Amino acid sequence: MHQRLTPTTIALLVIPPLMWAGNAVVGRLVSPWVPPITLNFLRWALAGVLLLPLAARVLRTDSGLWPLWRRFALLGLLGVGAYNALQYLALQSSTPLNVTLVAASMPVWMLGVGGLFFGVAVSRRQLLGAALSLSGVAVVLSRGDWSLLMQVRLVPGDLYILAATICWSFYSWLLTQPRAPAAWRDDWAAFLMAQIVFGLGWSGLFAGAEWALTDAQIRWGWPLLSALVFIAVGPALLAYCLWGAGVKRVGPTVAGFFANLTPLFAAVLSAAFLGELPRLYHGAAFALIVGGIVVSSRR
């Protein structure tokens, strides 16, 4: 049975969206210093090193990882290799607020992926909620000007974050499929390490292609190193741990509402650190997206 919301549970569910918003803002800040796909690889490489003391046993030849390597290779591709790489790509040409608002439509894409690929029935109420949330995404993509949407004038970042959101939807549904080894079910560090092992392979491959096909360069310095430490410790490790604990307490439906605090935090952080003030259409888009999620999740 899920617990009531307590101050501790609220903290568990509020800190991750704050970390995710910070991840978007930092990704935008460091874009002149490091290529986006390389940034994703460096982030997860550092996270993996920091996680080793808690989950080194996963790398043993007799661990439960290797019999399930296909499953974790796919999870690593979608969750570690693709999602954040696409998000950092999106931040090259879109703002953190736009990126987090489009990502806030995640429950709608999860609904579609579940219905189309995993045989989960979709109700009329959920379809109505999906329409509301997608209209909110359309407001973001059109910058509040419907004539722009009709002319399909989208910046590349808008399309990258949509692709990232769909990747995460597939990733989330795959998490509901056959479970990890019994010893890992309550061990967030082991489960995350199993994904990082393969995710680093994917992200390293993508980063190699980035360096081969573009004029990629890294401008090392304390600002970049500090940013790497933050995105590896905060949005990757800390947020993953706290979010898992919060979801266990109240369930994914209630937790999903807290995830949609991310655009609000992104608006505040963007105004503070990037000078990118939110506009009226951002508020309208957020209201539509949250409204759609509320309608979809009501029983």
User: What would the pLDDT profile of 211-252 be if each residue is shown by its tens digit?
Assistant: 999 999 999 999 999 999 999 999 999 998 898 888 778 766
Is residue 16 a part of any domain in this protein? no
Give the per-residue SS3 of 177-230: CCCCCHHHCCCHHHHHHHHHHHHHHHHHHHHHHHHHHCCCCCCCCHHHHHHHHH
Q: Give helix 280-297 / helix 252-259 axis angle, nearest 10°.
A: 180
pLDDT digits (tens, 9 = 90+) for 159-200: 899 999 899 888 888 877 766 676 666 788 999 999 999 999
Q: Which burial class, exposed, middle or buried, applies to 72 when counting CB atoms under 10 A from its CB (0-12, 13-18, 19+)? A: buried
Identify the band that residue 37 occupies on the pLDDT scale cut at 50, 70 and 90.
Answer: very high
Phi/psi of residue 123, nearest 5 degrees: -90, 165
More confident site: 81 or 246: 81
Classify residue 5: in a domain, yes or no.
Answer: no
Q: pLDDT-based confidence at 149, cuts 50/70/90?
A: low
Question: Is 21 a domain residue?
Answer: no
Which residue in this structure is represented by tokens 């692709």? 163
Cβ contacts of residue 17 below 8 Å, gap of 6+? 258, 259, 260, 261, 262, 265
For residue 178, the model assigns a pLDDT of 66
| Residue 27 domain flag | no
Domain that holds residue 229: 33-297
Q: How many domains does the chain have?
A: 1
Residues in the chain: 299
pTM here is 0.84
Q: How crowded is the C-beta side of 47, counted as CA atoms within 13 Å? A: 31
Across 99-112, average pLDDT? 77
Query: Does residue 8 fall inside a structural domain?
Result: no
Question: Tokens in use for 107?
Answer: 């429950």
pLDDT at 164: 92
> Is 53 inside any structural domain?
yes
Nearby residues of 258 by Cβ (< 8 Å), 6 or more positions away = 13, 14, 16, 17, 246
The answer to whether residue 1 is domain-embedded is no
> Each residue of 135-148: pLDDT tens digit?
776 776 666 666 65
Please report whether residue 3 resides in a domain. Answer: no
Residue 41 has pLDDT above 70, yes or no: yes
The pLDDT score that the predictor gives to residue 249 is: 82
Q: Which residue bears the tokens 């949005």?
A: 235
Distances in Å between the Cα of 39 and the Cα atoms of 89, 231, 232, 262 are 10, 10, 10, 21
